[in-house]
Amino acid sequence: MRPNPAEIVRTLVAGRLPGLVHLAHRPSPHHVRHVTDPEGRVLLLVPVASHLAAALRPVAGVGDVAVVLDVLDLPPAAGAPGLGRAWVSGWAVELHGDEVRRAALDFAAVEPTGDLLDLGTRFRLFRFEVVEVRWERAGAVLRIDPGEYAEAEPDPVHPVEARLLADLSERHGAQVTAYLRRQLGLTERTLDGPPRVVRIDRYGLVVALGHPGARRRIRLAFPDPVTDPADLPRLLPPLRLPAGTRPSG
């Protein structure tokens, strides 16, 4: 198994990667702090004194503002393949009262920032239902059903992936190489360099074969999808979770 497109988009827009917001018929893009709530709705934390706050202000006779959240994957290590780019769009609405309090808890579950304490004074919280989903990779753009997007879940490994890869490379390189060779049936003569783990997700590992820069890769699946990064040492014996690798929330 491997992540499906809806899962990849949910992972990309979850709030761990930088995002840009494009607004219809308004100056853009704008850098934005964002997360998604458990239903996949996008929450935008916007400073009151900002161009983005002004751009999100509804205009009489027009109604809510159409926005697109644009998130590009940042590969977690040199030589790692990217997950592509996600665009999710909808109509942004400022939250008030009980809604903003509940949404602030959802935001804090992903990004526990103290700026949430200043909602209503220095910051505003906007939300939009996702009505259109697109995923781009290798020059191809795929449209994803919004219902499939909403039902998918972000990958629980993604927030700690970079730390895990660094740990495998820096602290357990020889063990990892021996483990991968056993699992993949490789010998010293098979390749012109040691196999390297270049990505980790809930379903398994992406392993690069050959010298650094080589594009040959193979997928090594876990017996079961990971639901908690704490399960990884059982599935990947050379790994010992470094301190602080459990994601917040």
The pLDDT assigned to 248 comes to 42
The pLDDT assigned to 247 comes to 44
The CATH homologous superfamily to which domain 5-151 belongs is Electron Transport, Fmn-binding Protein; Chain A (2.30.110.10)
The pLDDT assigned to 131 comes to 97
Q: What angle do CA 86, 89, 90 make, to 5 degrees?
A: 160
Helix, strand, coil shares of the chain, percent, nearest 5, are: 30, 30, 45
Q: How far apart are CA 109 and CA 177, in angstroms?
A: 36
The pLDDT assigned to 192 comes to 63
The pLDDT assigned to 71 comes to 98
Contact 71, 85 (CB under 8 A): yes
The CATH homologous superfamily to which domain 158-235 belongs is PNP-oxidase-like (3.20.180.10)
Q: What angle do CA 167, 158, 216 make, to 5 degrees?
A: 70
Domain residue limits, the chain: 5-151, 158-235
249 residues of the chain, pLDDT tens digit each: 889 999 999 999 999 999 999 998 777 799 999 999 999 999 999 999 999 999 998 776 566 789 999 999 999 987 789 999 999 999 999 999 999 999 999 999 999 999 999 999 999 999 999 999 999 998 899 999 999 999 999 999 999 999 888 887 776 567 777 777 777 766 665 556 677 888 999 999 888 876 666 667 888 888 889 999 888 877 776 665 544 444 444
The pLDDT assigned to 60 comes to 60
Per-residue model confidence as pLDDT tens digits over 199-208: 999 999 888 8
Q: Which two tokens stand for residue 148?
A: 């499939």
Q: Which two tokens stand for residue 162?
A: 């970079």
Closest CA to 220 of 176, 162, 166: 176
